[in-house]
Amino acid sequence: MTVVSVVAAVGSNWKDLALTCHFSATADQAPLAVADDTKPVWLIPATASEFTITATPDVPTYWPTTVKFTVDPATGALTPTDNGGFVTIKTLGVPGVVELSWLTVNLSRFKDDSDTVRGQLGKPPATRADRNTMYSKVYSRHWPPQNWDLDDQPDARFLDLPVPDQGVSFSKDANLHVDAETVVLRLAGVVAPKLWAVSWPQNVDRTEGADPTPILLFLRQGNQQYKGDLFSGPGLDPYPYNFDYSSFGLYDDLAYVDGDLFRWPFSLGVPYQVAKAGNKAVTVHPVNSLDEDFGVIESTKQMGRILLELQSFMFRRAGVTTPPTTIGTTAIASFSSGTHILARILSSADNAGEPFLNDTVHAVYFLDPPWWAVKDCVVAALAWAKTPSPDKRVRFYTQTDWPVLAALKKKIDLPLPKEPYVKTSTDTLVTHGFVSRTSWATLVNQVTQPFTGDDWQFAHFATAATMLTHAMTQDF
């Protein structure tokens, strides 16, 4: 190095507000001393070729961030080689004499936890031996997964598009490919949801100057119903790291079975359905806990902030130091008892008038709500749709034609077709899809062996595993 190279650093959060941190640094892996690790200034040795900095926040709501650099031997300039999106560099000094690098290290409430969560799938406790055997059968060559890539599933049957008003059909699509980066992130500073899976399609721009990101937030079923059966018990570690949370609580929502969906409808393949719809949207899957369910995101103010920070993290992960400052069009999908949680979110007095819920969320999807939740879902959805911002969309897909759905169906041109049907209003703002369990059994019998088993459960999960495709063709 022919010049004196000096480095100073500060920390910031995703809003670019100052964040007090303790810093450490190495040059060629040798620690560098500093008088005050909250206001560090380092002199890089003239022989150094690599510089590494770690910022550790004073508060537990942010994760430490480490950034690695190469050091130019002639100028002393720093070039990030790892986590470059999490640092900005301003240079001062006298060219050829002194190089002063002022680093602003961005710390996030998110960190990549993909390997830790995936590791749970490969080490089930003895109490989950039967469930692990079942997963080995239905996911076949993909179990346990070696990564979070969503491999092609040429034998899965997808909803045929476009869907006519009356009748639904399904066929294989050997050309369907989920070209996306899928990761599992850990959120600091919350009781729940601690884990967030993200599937980011390659056709959703993540470069400097990109538009805000369109998001599909998927709320799976509530976990209160599983107390005593899943998520806790002998051999299972606490939330969020155990076999049940990683498999039933997450993997099933992302993946499709290694074979025909009509034989096993219990994996929902949300990113596959988005891809089938030809839609450009990032899917986000918060992993709810047994005791707290979806926790802080029942506040839509918190939900909006968390999704904005998630967007920031994913852009910085891609090397972009200036992510969008708002998030794009957002839809919230819910399944089973998760629909009641969505209804509660929509009807909460604390959320009323909140900008994210009123202005950013433009569609809500209800995938086969249980009988006890249907009325609340209809009332909450239609009330939310009346709020001032225009073009709010409500999509319902059920296996039972509940009388309370009459209020929803009034928005659609009558008379409705004979079931099975998927009918959308002329203004495209309201949809009702009705495919009964009898119709599901008929569809299954047409393509595979005669249907046996719990027809309600099959229709319940098959609704979520296929009809989301239709919703995603209507919006975004």
Per-residue pLDDT for 71 more than 80?
A: yes
Which helix H or strand E contains 437, and what residues bound it?
A: helix 437-447
Predicted structure pTM score: 0.95
CA separation for the pair 288, 238 (Å, rounded):
13
2 or 45, which is more confident: 45
pLDDT tens-place string over residues 341-373:
999 999 999 999 899 999 999 999 999 999 999
pLDDT at 2: 62
Note the pLDDT of residue 446: 84
How is residue 33 written in tokens? 């001393």
Peptide bond into 144 cis (omega under 30): yes
Contacts with 361 (C-beta within 8 Å, 6 or more apart), sequence order: 300, 330, 331, 332
What pLDDT score was predicted for residue 1? 52
Pick the CATH number of 4-107 from 2.30.30.60, 2.60.130.10, 1.20.120.450, 2.60.40.10: 2.60.40.10
211-226 average pLDDT score: 97
Distance in angstroms (rounded) separating the CA atoms of residues 334 and 293: 13
pLDDT at 378: 98
Taking alpha carbons only, the member of 17, 20, 8 closest to residue 56 is 20
- Provide the mean pLDDT of the chain: 94
The answer to whether 219 and 332 have CB atoms below 8 angstroms apart is yes
Instruction: State the pLDDT at residue 96.
Output: 66
Q: Would the pLDDT of 150 be above 80?
A: yes
Per residue in 256-276, pLDDT (tens digit) is 988 888 888 899 999 999 999
pLDDT tens track for 46-56: 899 999 999 99
Strands 180-187 and 195-201: antiparallel
Structural domain boundaries in the chain: 4-107, 111-474
Condensed to tens digits (0 to 9), the pLDDT of residues 231-255 reads 999 999 999 999 999 999 999 999 9
At 16, the pLDDT band (50, 70, 90 cuts) reads confident
Q: How far apart are alpha carbons 316 and 426 in whole angstroms? A: 41
Instruction: Give pLDDT tens digits for 398-433.
Output: 999 999 999 999 999 888 999 999 999 999 999 999
pLDDT level of residue 74 (50, 70, 90 thresholds): confident
Contact (Cβ atoms closer than 8 angstroms) between residue 288 and residue 171 = no
Q: Which amino acid is at 101?
A: S
Choose among 346, 225, 228, 350: nearest CA to 288: 225
Residue given tokens 């009509």 in the structure block: 262
pLDDT digits (tens, 9 = 90+) for 304-350: 999 999 999 999 999 999 999 999 999 999 999 999 999 999 999 99
